[in-house]
Structures are given as C-alpha cells and as structure tokens.
Amino acid sequence: MAYANIIGKWRTDPEGFWMDAAGAIDWIKKPSTALNATNAPLYEWYTDGLVNTCWNAVDRHVLAGRGDQAAIIHDSPVTSSKQVITFAQLQDRVARLAGALQGRGVAKGDRVIIYMPMVPEALVAMLACARIGAIHSVVFGGFAAAELAVRIDDCTPKAIIAASCGIEPNRVVHYKPLLDGAIDLATHKPDFCVILQREQEIATLVPGRDVDWQEFTENATPADCLAVEGNHPAYILYTSGTTGAPKGVVRPTGGHLVALNWSMRAIYNVGPGDVFWAASDVGWVVGHSYICYGPLIAGCTTIVYEGKPVGTPDAGAFWRVISEHKVKSFFTAPTALRAIKRDDSEGKLLADYDLSNLQTLYLAGERADPDTILWAQRHMKVPVIDHWWQTETGWAIAANPVGIEALPVKIGSPSVPMPGYDVQVLDEGGHPVPAGTLGAIAIKLPLPPGTLPTLWNAEERFRKSYLNHFPGFYETGDAGYIDEDGYLYIMARTDDVINVAGHRLSTGAMEEVLAGHKDVAECAVIGVADELKGQSPLGFLCLNKGTNRPHDEIIRECVTLMREKIGPVADFKRAVVIDRLPKTRSGKILRGTMVNIADGKSWKMPATIDDPTILDEITAALKSIGYAKDKV
C-alpha cells in the first residue's frame, strides 16, 4: 500500500507533498511555497527559492566526504578507452570550465549551445553552465548544419562548446565543419567557440573565434556556484514540432532538481554509491535527466557509453558494460533491445557475462511491445519495467515505483501515474471516457515540478501545442486507455490511431500482434488512405537474422494472427518485409513520414533521421506492393 499512501498524500496535500520533496535538495534560500499559480495556466514551482544545480550534483557530495567515489565512468568501445572521474575530479574540471566561461563574459541567463558526442566533457560542459547560471542547450552531436543553425538563431548563444568529431563504429563524424557551416548559415553569431580536440581528428580552429578546450581551461580561475531562482531556466532542449520548426522546451532549475532527486529513489531504486546506466545520448531528454543530472544529484555513479547495442563489437556489448561496471539499475529503449534480440535471438551472449548486480531493467522512449519485454525477462532474469514520459515532462508520467513499492507488472502497460500527474483519458469533446476505452491521454493542470512551464520565446505556441485543445489539461499527444485497476496503456500517438470504416483502432495494438510472430524481430503499422474504408492498416516487418522462410508465407501467417487476435475489423491484409525501419537517432519510428510516402503526399526529410537512405528503401518496398509515388 506504499504507492497508494504516496499518491493519497499528494492528492490530499500537493503543496505539502512537494515541499517535503524539496527538503532533500540543498537550497541557498528555501522556497516559501511550492506551486506558483499567479500566471495560470502557466504554472511555476519554487519560484522564490535560491538554489544551484551544480552544487547539488557535484559539490555537496564532495563536502559529504565522497569525493573519491566515481561520479562518471566513460566506456567507449569505439575508441577502445575507459575512464573514471571521481566527484572531486569532476568538481575541479567543472569549476575550471565555468571560470573560463565567466572570464569570457558568459553570465547568468546567457545561452550556451553544447554540440558534443558521448564523452565526459559533455557533462562537464552542462554542469559548468549550471554552476554559473548560464542556460545550456545541448544539440545532438552530428546534427546537420542547417538544423544546428535554426537552434543557434532561436536561442542566440553567447558561446558554443563542441568537439572536433564524433566516433561511429565505421567512421569519424566531422563535427567542426558542421559547426562552421551552421554558424555561416545562422543570422546570430556566437562570441566564441570552445573546441574539444579529440585525437581521432584535430580540427582547424578559426582565429579569434575558436579556442582549444585544454588551453581554455588549464589556467582558468575556478568559479563558485551561483545562486539562481527556482524558476530560472536550467536548460533549453529542442524537440521536433509538427510544423518542422523545433520547439525549445524550457526546464526550470528548482523543480528539475526536486523531481529528478525524487525519481531516482522512488522509481529507479538507487542512491549514493549505486551505479546507474541510461543507454542514451546527452542530446536527448533521457541524457539530460538520467545520464547527467539525475544520477549525479542522487550521488550515483553514472555511465557515459560511447557505443552501440550491437556492432561494438557484438550484441553482447550492453551485457559487458553491465557486468564490468556492476550496474544496479539499467535504462534503455525498446529499440535497442530489439536490435540485440534480432542479432542474438536466443540470448546466447548473455552467458558470457555476470549480471548479478543488475536488479532492474527500465524501458522508455517508445512503446515496449510485450514480445520484447518477455524476451528480456526470460534472458536477463530481472524485472523489466516499462515507463512513460516525454521530452516535455523531463521525468516519468507513469511508472512502477520500485523504490517505494514494486507493483504487479502488467505487460503492455507503463504501470501507474506518478505523484503530480493527474492522468485522464478524454474523448474529442474533452470528456473522460470509461475504463478500458481508447481516447486522448491528457494531464490535468498543474503539471508537477520538473516539467515544462512554456517554450523558449514561444508562449503562444506552447498554449496552442499543449493547452488549447483540452482547456485545463496538458495534451500529451498520445492515445491509450486506463484499465479498471488504474494502469495506463499507451497505444499510439494520437495521429497513429487509425479509423477503419468507422472503427478507431490502435496501430500499437496491431504491432503487438505482429511482434509476437516468431520470425519478426521488429515491426511497424501505419494507416494508409483507402477510398472505401477511409484508412487501412499496412505492416512493415523486419525479420530475425537467419530467417530464410519465404516472405509471402510469413506475411500470410501475420495476416492470420491479426484476424485471430484483433479480428476482421482490423482489415489487416497487407504487409511488406524490409531490412530496417526508418527511425530518429533516439530510436523513434518515423511513422508519419512513412504514411506520407505511402499515400504519395509531399514530405520533408526529418532532421532527426538516423539514416536518410532508409527512406529510399521504404519507398521501393511500398512501390513493390502498389503504394507510393515518386519522392516530392
């Protein structure tokens, strides 16, 4: 009943609940109130408190006598290198970089873009900004110059911190030419750029603008932590928008600290000295919340992994990291597990590693299909916990609070709402629907601490994107239902719910069925235009390695499965076998783009796509079964 008690306390006294949670953070001046509703529906938290994120993530652990504990373990199979940085060493490096930035005029409220690969210096740069009250905006390393230029013009950084290159399994990604191109394209020009020179590629510096990281920091006067208000932005993180223009999610400092600290113990069941690994990238929200800030605020050791789930060197890469560094709590995306499962469907590589320290596997980033969860449970022999959140929220909306009470797992559900999230399922008119009924998932305002209060310089766009459709609610953009036990099920993005002859059907439910086929490693379902029925489902199947059965036979079996599991109402008759699915760099399947290709509509190359050539393969596959016109 621990979860019920926690939720009950929050519902009864939300102000008291969040003030209690704030007590676990070191405040320079404690806030007098938790919620500030003076500008509702734009809510803020801990507005009049004074605090510093870097102090809470680094300095307080050194002060507590844990300076010799590992803060960061950098494990880079692509460069065959490993490095351990203690909290004391991290404090020194962060303070020196912060001092060097201050020396060049970077002050509280100034923006700094960080364009880095998965190296410890990315975290050092984020923390250095937090130390002096600068607002960082991390852009995924290797992003195209045009996309980086858009972000430069939107947040107008005083400085950009970048690396000379990133390392992929089979190539070097030249960051510096991309950065130079972006600055040329951008209207706004940064005052200076700090370049981390990696030995794999030494970049040419622009005289008068670019400085070498090493030279910049080695003689710098260390900076102290600066007190900032609770509502001071810690960072801006751009997420893709439906118009193509990125949306700058703002993360305020006070609520960010409180929410992440609470989540590390309550959800992930870790604390000081535990090793936590989120296999993501600092360019995504998971990297912000659970590679950099969350683990360090909680006093954990965090792993910065520069590699892939497969190919660095094989599908046992994750198991090696977990075994070698004694990871207690592991967080990854279902797409990574599916890649591993496709290469090693029997899980044979797990036998080479000792995973006895691992207690829990957490999944997020996209829907976790039951087949992948069952595979992971069977082979890893630990609880597999799906949870659901968004770039906008910064931490879990729904989860299984293992650190409070491990609730029964319902496969297919990210479990139950966390404190602060009054999750409701609504019909198009904004009315709650009965348990078990598919609808739009919305969260009654106010959102809890740690979530976005607005978009950077775009309040009207914030209202239009999230608040206007269902007044009094935050619109998540996801569709699903809540069962009779209060468990939430995320079935699709709202625009992935298709209407087949008047029946609203979830593509996610169809994907669950296809993923259950023994030869299917990964799949996607989209709704294509149909003159008779409005929309009709179309499946894309990626097969397990080594599968050599006729594709037509497998497709027929999938059609039969769909009739058995969902029924003729699904109208599932067509599927195509492909080698790979088009995804963003964070692993999300680009279903919207696939729909536009299939329907012959004009489409724009997504900025976040992992490999643009995949869309040519998708187009060819669709043409082979009578869909898709030439690319517009």
Supply φ then ψ for residue 188, to 5 degrees.
-80, 140
CATH code of the domain containing 117 = 3.40.50.12780
Residue 632 has what pLDDT? 41
Residue 571 has what pLDDT? 85
Determine, yes or no, domain membership for 109. yes
Over residues 207-217, the mean pLDDT reads 98
Residue 631 has what pLDDT? 45
Determine, yes or no, domain membership for 318. no
> Where a domain ends, among 206, 228, 251?
251
Three-class SS of 170-200? CEEEEHHHHHHHHHHHCCCCCCEEEEECECC
Residue 241 has what pLDDT? 56
Residue 495 has what pLDDT? 64
> Where a domain ends, among 251, 270, 304?
251
> Where a domain ends, among 251, 269, 292?
251
Determine, yes or no, domain membership for 510. yes
H-helix or E-strand containing 235? strand 233-239
Determine, yes or no, domain membership for 372. no
Residue 504 has what pLDDT? 66
Write out pLDDT tens, residues 213-250: 999 999 999 999 999 999 999 999 998 654 457 799 99
Residue 244 has what pLDDT? 58
Question: Which of the four pLDDT bands, split at 50, 70 and 90, describes residue 606?
Answer: confident
Question: Which of the four pLDDT bands, split at 50, 70 and 90, describes residue 370?
Answer: confident
Write out pLDDT tens, residues 424-455: 999 989 999 999 999 999 999 999 999 999 99
- Number of folded domains that form the chain: 2
Over residues 567-585, the mean pLDDT reads 88
Residue 502 has what pLDDT? 63
CATH code of the domain containing 526 = 3.30.300.30
Determine, yes or no, domain membership for 358. no
Residue 629 has what pLDDT? 59
Q: 513 pLDDT exceeds 60?
A: yes
Determine, yes or no, domain membership for 49. yes
Q: 380 pLDDT exceeds 90?
A: yes
Determine, yes or no, domain membership for 511. yes
The whole domain housing 213 covers: 15-67+87-251
* Mean pLDDT, the chain, whole residue set: 93
**What DSSP line would sit under 469-508, residue for residue?**
SSTTEEEEEEEEEE-TTS-EEEEEEGGGEEEETTEEEEHH
**What DSSP line would sit under 265-291, residue for residue?**
HHTT---TT-EEEE-S-TTSHHHIIII
Determine, yes or no, domain membership for 234. yes
For 282-291, 334-343, 621-630, which range has the lowest pLDDT when averaged over its residues? 621-630
